[in-house]
Amino acid sequence: MRLRLATLVVCTVLLTLAAPAQDWPRTRVYSALQAGRLLDPDRELVHFSLTCTLRIEGSSYPVVDLREVVKGAATARGVNHIVLFDSTLHPVRTIAYNLERPLFCVENHLYLLGDLAVGNLQPEGNVLTFSHHGATVAVSHVDANAYPLPTTRERKALPSRLLRNFCLADAELGQQSLFRRDAKLLQDAQLVRRSPALHHLAVHKARDLHAPRLDGLARGRDPLEVSLVGAGHRVGQRHRVFIGNQVLAGDLEVREGAAHLCEHVDVALGPRSLRGRGVVLNDRRGGECAKRFEVAAVDRVTPLNLCLDILFLAHRPLDRDGLGAVQNLRRPTVMARLWRPGGVCAGTRRHGGDHCYPCWVMITTIQSHILDQHLQSDDASGTFSWTLSGITLATKMIAAEIRKAGLNDVYGAAGATNVQGEAQQKLDVFANEAMLHCLGLRDSVAALISEENDEPVIFEQHENGKYIIVFDPLDGSSNIDVNVNVGTIFSIFRKPDGASVESVLLQTGANQVAAGYVLYGPSTVFVYTTGSGVFGFTLDPAIGAYVLSFDSMKMPEQGSYYSVNEANYETFPATYQQYLTELRTGQMGRTYSSRYIGSLVADFHRTLLKGGIFLYPPTDKQPKGKLRLLYEANPLALIAEQAGGRATTGHGRVLDVVPTNIHERTSLIVGSRLEVERLERILGI
């Protein structure tokens, strides 16, 4: 008795923790699979579903179950993947599986149907535990009886909602016509007579059903076959697909293949809610399942409101033979999807009278912004977006680590110095490894140059690598001890086709295809340019995504601040001293104030927003300057110029400097156009 009670308590706790799938529409999931190039054109997609959402280090990570079969094979061979997305639906990693499909999530644990060896490597187990923002996965095994089954919770959630609006569409079978604008908005659930009809959100070909694969989609052999797809959003955390051969005025006849597995139908549709609601599940052969469900009265289809996300799929109109005893609807091929009111989706919106589409809160994440930009350019393949996503992922990891810096006892030096001779911080190490790891997994990356590594990291196995990424993983890290802002700076160069990586490591800043930085401050801000404007994004911790917050950033032509380490004033060249005197004495037409944080990214970010000038001039001690050309001066110079400002080394334009080594130092003066031009005149350049 005590054992049973303990088991109940454990299960209750686990059920409470069970994470429901975030309510992503299938269109978004499908688009994300396409954008991530996860759908192989040589395979036939037979199933995809959003299984559940993991919570990893405080952020949401949707899990998608993706199944394909190899086209053209005499005997179909399955290729199945678990796809882990980040909260912006950008793929983080994929894990191949055989039959061990994902079932549900509890926090950062993903439970599987059977033991899986990730990458065919031992150990194998039925629970995948993710960490490091999905980059690391540990495999373990629990007894199936100990699974925190979500069924109870699902059923509690079932009866509470009513369907009001359906979007109906008549996409062609075989077409991937997403976001069709000809969907009709109905005021209530009902059957329509359009054909051929297949929901445009469903996969473009459905599979025939057989008992062991209840979650295949309906496909072709049976002309009357109709699929009922419970996509698992609210119905349950497990995707379930059931196939019947008719949907007739509220009757759902379950095809013989599924009919003998009554308990699955029961769980999927919630029998308590069905009772008396007018849905009949009928095995045409009159099996046991039919008896169980025929207690319901034939009424209308509306009782299916118990499922918030149900698709009815039909291949072609039903003919007279398929109607059976039901007379009032003769050609009821239907597909319908509920647009969930409230929550993320604010409802449905009419467009041009007959059209409808979900009304989303329009936010632009960095991934969609990059995609939008590059889909219009020559890089329509998404490679650049995929590459940059490595940086966004790494910086989110770094931001999360910084947030808990004081808690994790990671203050202070790790007892080593980096190649620059600076005391190396633990967070430096973490940030560097995060960047190396996240970018090293992108096969589009040919080489990485980090402030923390004395040599470039070249990925010889990345045959298609076309980008060289230069970065300072944690600029100003010595400021962590005093809780002052730090940042990550990056710069991206293209490796020309056919060129060896070594020969193109040292390029002028003018060759940068993108540059940016992340400022870890009161909020985490990501600023980047690809040479057509500067855009700033703020990390929304609620959804774990960088959201566009500064569109087309422009640096004021003149500001009111200058930023320099004045302790070095006496060691500056006389020209710089003269310039600073001008600023202080109002000779630039206004009185300047001094702001100096000592964290390059923070000082630059202020200069970008407020205008003015940032200076790190040569000193007696460091006559060539202190800042690094490749991963500090170059990226900030490109951003400044793109925002309308200027950047100089004191001898000429920063972006024209030909580097001689990857850790080359330079002086840097960057800021508003008027301030920098005045200094250039004094310096005679």
Whether the Cβ atoms of residue 97 and residue 115 lie closer than 8 Å to each other: no
Stretch that binds other proteins, among 10-18, 122-130, 472-480, 676-684 (CB under 8 A): 122-130
Stretch that binds other proteins, among 93-101, 508-516, 585-593, 609-617 (CB under 8 A): 93-101
Tokens of 384: 């650049």
How many C-beta atoms surround the C-beta of residue 681 within 10 A? 10
Number of residues in contact with other proteins, rule: CB under 8 A?
41
Choosing from 57, 251, 452, 632, the residue that interacts with other proteins (CB under 8 A) is 452
Tokens of 68: 């394909």
Choosing from 120, 187, 327, 660, the residue that interacts with other proteins (CB under 8 A) is 120
Task: Give the residue with the Cβ less far from other proteins, 73 or 574.
Answer: 73
Residue with tokens 């690094």: 628
Task: Give the residue with the Cβ less far from other proteins, 124 or 222.
Answer: 124
Least spacing, CB of residue 450 vs other proteins, in Å: 11
Tokens of 494: 């293209």
Choosing from 99, 142, 499, 658, the residue that interacts with other proteins (CB under 8 A) is 99
Q: Considering the rule CB under 8 A, would residue 70 count as an interface residue with other proteins?
A: yes
Residue with tokens 């001094």: 594
Euclidean distance between CA atoms 191 and 245, whole angstroms: 15
One-letter-per-residue 3-state SS of 269-325: HCHHHHCCCCCEECCCCCCHHHHHHCCCCCCCCHHHHHCCCEEEEECCCCCHHHHCC
Choosing from 11, 14, 15, 78, the residue that interacts with other proteins (CB under 8 A) is 78
∠ at Cα 415 (411, 418), nearest 5°?
95
Q: Considering the rule CB under 8 A, would residue 141 count as an interface residue with other proteins?
A: no
Q: Considering the rule CB under 8 A, would residue 409 count as an interface residue with other proteins?
A: no
Tokens of 601: 């990214």
Measure CA of the first residue to CA of the last residue in the chain; give whole Å: 87
Choosing from 1, 3, 5, 74, the residue that interacts with other proteins (CB under 8 A) is 74
Stretch that binds other proteins, among 120-128, 362-370, 382-390, 554-562 (CB under 8 A): 120-128
Site for other proteins in 349-408 (CB under 8 A): none
Q: Considering the rule CB under 8 A, would residue 456 count as an interface residue with other proteins?
A: no
Euclidean distance between CA atoms 228 and 194, whole angstroms: 17
Residue with tokens 């190039």: 37
Stretch that binds other proteins, among 65-73, 232-240, 494-502, 521-529 (CB under 8 A): 65-73
Task: Give the residue with the Cβ less far from other proteins, 415 or 684.
Answer: 415
Choosing from 57, 68, 253, 641, the residue that interacts with other proteins (CB under 8 A) is 68
Amino acid at 152: T
Choosing from 75, 327, 503, 660, the residue that interacts with other proteins (CB under 8 A) is 75
Euclidean distance between CA atoms 115 and 80, whole angstroms: 15
Q: Considering the rule CB under 8 A, would residue 483 count as an interface residue with other proteins?
A: no
Task: Give the residue with the Cβ less far from other proteins, 96 or 297.
Answer: 96
Binding track over 153-192 against other proteins, x by CB under 8 A: ----------------------------------------
Task: Give the residue with the Cβ less far from other proteins, 127 or 209.
Answer: 209
Whether the Cβ atoms of residue 652 and residue 625 lie closer than 8 Å to each other: no
Q: Considering the rule CB under 8 A, would residue 460 count as an interface residue with other proteins?
A: no
DSSP 422: P
Give alpha helix (H) positions in 421-540: 426-440
Q: Considering the rule CB under 8 A, would residue 80 count as an interface residue with other proteins?
A: yes
| CA distances from residue 263 to 36, 165, 258, 271, 464 in whole angstroms, order as listed | 36, 29, 10, 10, 50
Least spacing, CB of residue 71 vs other proteins, in Å: 6
Choosing from 1, 5, 121, 567, the residue that interacts with other proteins (CB under 8 A) is 121
Cβ partners under 8 Å of residue 41, min gap 6: none
**Residue 15: which H helix or E strand, with range?**
helix 2-17
Task: Give the residue with the Cβ less far from other proteins, 124 or 680.
Answer: 124
Cβ partners under 8 Å of residue 128, min gap 6: 82, 95, 109, 110, 112, 116, 118, 137, 138, 139
Task: Give the residue with the Cβ less far from other proteins, 10 or 419.
Answer: 419
Task: Give the residue with the Cβ less far from other proteins, 146 or 211.
Answer: 211
Euclidean distance between CA atoms 445 and 477, whole angstroms: 26
Beta-bridge partners for 369: none
Q: Considering the rule CB under 8 A, would residue 210 count as an interface residue with other proteins?
A: yes
Choosing from 43, 161, 260, 355, the residue that interacts with other proteins (CB under 8 A) is 43
Amino acid at 396: K
Least spacing, CB of residue 506 vs other proteins, in Å: 22
Euclidean distance between CA atoms 343 and 360, whole angstroms: 10
Choosing from 8, 10, 17, 76, the residue that interacts with other proteins (CB under 8 A) is 76
Cβ partners under 8 Å of residue 456, min gap 6: 447, 448, 449, 501, 505, 662
Binding track over 411-450 against other proteins, x by CB under 8 A: ----xxxxx----x----x---------------------
Cβ partners under 8 Å of residue 653, min gap 6: 637, 647
Choosing from 98, 328, 464, 532, the residue that interacts with other proteins (CB under 8 A) is 98
Stretch that binds other proteins, among 115-123, 167-175, 260-268, 574-582 (CB under 8 A): 115-123
CA dihedral 108, 114, 118, 123 (to 10 degrees): 100
Burial class (CB in 10 A: 0-12, 13-18, 19+), 212: exposed
Euclidean distance between CA atoms 269 and 419, whole angstroms: 63
Least spacing, CB of residue 285 vs other proteins, in Å: 14
Site for other proteins in 211-230 (CB under 8 A): 211-213
**Residue 445: which H helix or E strand, with range?**
strand 445-450
Binding track over 290-329 against other proteins, x by CB under 8 A: ----------------------------------------
Least spacing, CB of residue 474 vs other proteins, in Å: 14
Least spacing, CB of residue 81 vs other proteins, in Å: 10
Euclidean distance between CA atoms 553 and 538, whole angstroms: 13
Binding residues for other proteins (CB under 8 A) = 40-43, 67-80, 96, 98-99, 117, 119-124, 210-213, 415-419, 424, 429, 452, 454
